[in-house]
Structure 1
């Protein structure tokens, strides 16, 4: 088994708008606290090659993933499908896909981003060396809280106390999985998996960084003179315990929570035990998920309703209510343009699986709720099943049944922000597709990423 690691700086220039937290905030970056990186792990069993990439950005659409795959395949000869791109979902980085009003994408940055990400993948492949894998699962607490079923965030004087835990830890991820790679030189790299929105720094913050997962991964990698990837899990309804604070409080909290996560990473590296990975397998599926039944007439009626509302609010240009209505108008107008150009509001996506010995990494482009994650993991036959979100695509929230029934931000508003229809049965459909993906990994070895 040969394994290689590399990284590439994907930090944007200062001044680009940052992603998230509200309509038309004009939250332009003012400096760099910690660089944003694309980090890659290349694996080659002699027959099959595969590259896992982890990026310190909010998400990327499938079209950009395919662009990066073509660039990498053209340089090193592996199958385009033998590359998986995971995003951390930091909101202290640039907008990399279009969510109306939630931060404008920067065209020069987006034009250069695919090449910068591809560079990490290509260099990781070129640096392959004989190595082996180890695995650990360690406690990871004092970081996350379920924002739908517990509290949205916690006062700092409570959450920053040592040994703090949420009232309902079972509704969050409490385990950090760490997979390490070792050659004759020692530790050459690792990837970790944990589920939590990295939103310690929010709307009042304007510094660029990867939030607590990025800072911790970079710090531990520097300590070990290696490269450390972070793979985001099912963070859909899980926030960092601190959010929406002042810049000073946020930065203080960021250091503390990053150190908590770094502690788990260090423990995982120290505790990792060898695992047998003689061969690797990867598979993919391209499902189309069902959406609510809104036709063009319904969209036009909603648009007229929103435009009438805006006229009534016209004197309140800076109000949150008016800015939010403009977000929804923009989303509806984009949906109508898509239909007018012959496009679809029910696009396919890609889900992708990678098997490394006992570990099955199952990725989708969703922000997956914990209840869906739990259903997938409990049905999987693999010893260790890691559900990864924000992988290869940007598909919005996969809400659980209860949240979908309630409606609100994740179920109703976010689809309009992304100029898409809300999902109709995403809990059951995503669960079933991911379970089928898991079974595909067991049943059908995938040679398409053959080593050239």
Structure 2
């Protein structure tokens, strides 16, 4: 079966992008070193592995208490400063984060460092074998610790900042990410229909094979950090042991190549409909576990790009801006209400102990659907944030975005490099689906947290902010 993925030229073939237009009365180039625009960067990683016995989220309400540690969980942070602007980026090995936790983290960072809360980006790796959600006695005791350590990582990174040189590059990896939604031969669409399923016709959508890299060296030219970005679900471990999934193996590769003190900061791309399952059956996880194979492949590609990337200690202009977009939940269609009734009848009489994780999740969703009938659609404001670091833009988006949205933002971005960073700034869980996916059904649209137009509105807000940040950058040139 032939795979489909987005048309993306390989790094060496990609046309230049993100250049500022020249004007007749543009002032001459200034001595930025003398103006103090040398960049300073600090990085840190703090262990946040919780006690055993906590619920591991990621597969619905079925009990899955942690029994061990496969890989330690971390919060990692980067603080970057140039002239009078400072930004902080925090990435937590957790499936999602709620808004109140994010606000407390940002507030603590601002109080300790002076970095404005709006200049702090808080994101999740979305690991499905990570720290618990704030539910239950254990977790409620753990969350204040998690929030403090998340802020601590940024505070430590800020205290460690030193003169640095940075550069940006891109790579390509199309063998570890797969669109998980498929047209079947009967015309329906299914999510994860199974390896070697003879009824599969073709994937519904693309993948995003771009690997984006930010190289960070100190004043002596020694590596201190590597920022990377890729789009594929961190859901290839399973079991009851804590693990940060394949980003742990990216980090191991980076540390083995460049030193134990080098921090690997990974931003999760738009991967709501992407995962690691190759339905053609070509990949045997018994030979090399998915997390190892994926992390090693990405780690080596990131290292290759990093080594080919030139760095500069100046010309790094920083800025950030946010926009809040209010969207409603999705109005359910008649067939979706029918599905909920049918599902509850199907599961009637089964004990929760006998149900699979998928059945428990479907039961909970069916119950929520029926409970919502006749009630006003709830609304919520979600933050879209864009931060610029020279030629690089980092777009923070809410929840689990379908890859099509990330690709559209990248295609319309005026920056040379655009990182998509989903599950950011306290957005919580939930799929932001394309209208096409809502029409076709499958697993992801069974949730109804976001209206069908939400994704388009988030994308437009991100594109507007990107152009605003790019225009402001050009004024400083």
- With the shorter chain as reference, the TM-score category is 0.7 to 0.9
SS at match of 1:115: helix
> For 1:258 and 1:42, how far apart are their aligned partners in 2?
25
CA-atom RMSD, angstroms?
Answer: 3.5
Q: Cα–Cα, structure 1 residues 51 and 250, in superposed 2: closer, same or farther, change >3 Å?
A: farther
Within-5 A mapping of 1:97-116: 106-116=139-149
Q: Cα–Cα, structure 1 residues 251 and 368, in superposed 2: closer, same or farther, change >3 Å?
A: same
Which residue of 269, 288, 291 maps to 1:254?
Answer: 291
Q: Per-residue deviation at 1:381?
A: 1.4
Q: Per-residue deviation at 1:333?
A: 9.4
Q: Cα–Cα, structure 1 residues 89 and 242, in superposed 2: closer, same or farther, change >3 Å?
A: farther
> Retained in 1: the 8 A contact 2:328–2:380?
no
The answer to whether the aligner puts 1:137 opposite 2:170 as a matched pair is yes
Which residue of 210, 213, 233 maps to 2:244?
Answer: 210
Spell out, residue by residue over 1:263-316, the C-alpha distance to the aligned partner (whole angstroms, 9 max, x if none): 11221221222256432011111111243347xxx9xx9999599748942567
Which residue of 91, 96, 111 maps to 1:59?
Answer: 96
> For 1:171 and 1:329, how far apart are their aligned partners in 2?
29
Q: Per-residue deviation at 1:363?
A: 0.9
Which residue of 447, 451, 454 maps to 1:426?
Answer: 454
Q: Per-residue deviation at 1:65?
A: 1.0
> For 2:229 and 2:405, how far apart are their aligned partners in 1?
17
> Retained in 1: the 8 A contact 2:331–2:377?
no
Which residue of 136, 153, 159 maps to 1:126?
Answer: 159
The answer to whether the aligner puts 1:181 opposite 2:219 as a matched pair is no
Within-5 A mapping of 1:141-220: 141-149=174-182, 152=192, 171-185=206-220, 186-202=222-238, 205-220=239-254
- 1:4 equivalent in structure 2: 42
Spell out, residue by residue over 1:215-272, the C-alpha distance to the aligned partner (whole angstroms, 9 max, x if none): 22244135423111000111111102369x9xx8497332222211221122122122
> For 1:80 and 1:42, how far apart are their aligned partners in 2?
13
Within-5 A mapping of 1:394-405: 394-405=428-439
> For 1:366 and 1:325, how far apart are their aligned partners in 2?
19
Q: Per-residue deviation at 1:2?
A: 0.8
> For 2:399 and 2:177, how far apart are their aligned partners in 1?
19
The answer to whether the aligner puts 1:278 opposite 2:320 as a matched pair is no
Extract unaligned runs of 5+ from structure 2. Answer: 1-38, 184-190, 197-201
Q: Per-residue deviation at 1:401?
A: 2.4
> Retained in 2: the 8 A contact 1:362–1:386?
yes
Q: Cα–Cα, structure 1 residues 383 and 169, in superposed 2: closer, same or farther, change >3 Å?
A: farther
> For 2:343 and 2:207, how far apart are their aligned partners in 1?
40
> Retained in 2: the 8 A contact 1:4–1:128?
yes
- 1:20 equivalent in structure 2: 58
Q: Per-residue deviation at 1:72?
A: 0.9
> For 2:278 and 2:94, how far apart are their aligned partners in 1?
20
Q: Per-residue deviation at 1:80?
A: 0.9
Q: Per-residue deviation at 1:408?
A: 3.4
Q: Per-residue deviation at 1:319?
A: 2.9
> Retained in 1: the 8 A contact 2:385–2:397?
yes
Q: Cα–Cα, structure 1 residues 428 and 214, in superposed 2: closer, same or farther, change >3 Å?
A: same
The answer to whether the aligner puts 1:353 opposite 2:386 as a matched pair is yes
Q: Cα–Cα, structure 1 residues 369 and 293, in superposed 2: closer, same or farther, change >3 Å?
A: closer
Q: Per-residue deviation at 1:42?
A: 0.5
TM-score (norm 1): 0.81
> For 2:195 and 2:363, how far apart are their aligned partners in 1?
32
> For 2:343 and 2:193, how far apart are their aligned partners in 1?
34
Q: Cα–Cα, structure 1 residues 145 and 67, in superposed 2: closer, same or farther, change >3 Å?
A: same
Q: Per-residue deviation at 1:155?
A: 5.5
Q: Cα–Cα, structure 1 residues 64 and 359, in superposed 2: closer, same or farther, change >3 Å?
A: same
> For 1:52 and 1:210, how far apart are their aligned partners in 2?
18
Q: Per-residue deviation at 1:142?
A: 2.0
TM-score (norm 2): 0.77
Extract unaligned runs of 5+ from structure 1. Answer: 157-166, 416-420, 446-452
> Retained in 2: the 8 A contact 1:95–1:105?
no
Q: Per-residue deviation at 1:29?
A: 1.5
Aligned residues: 411
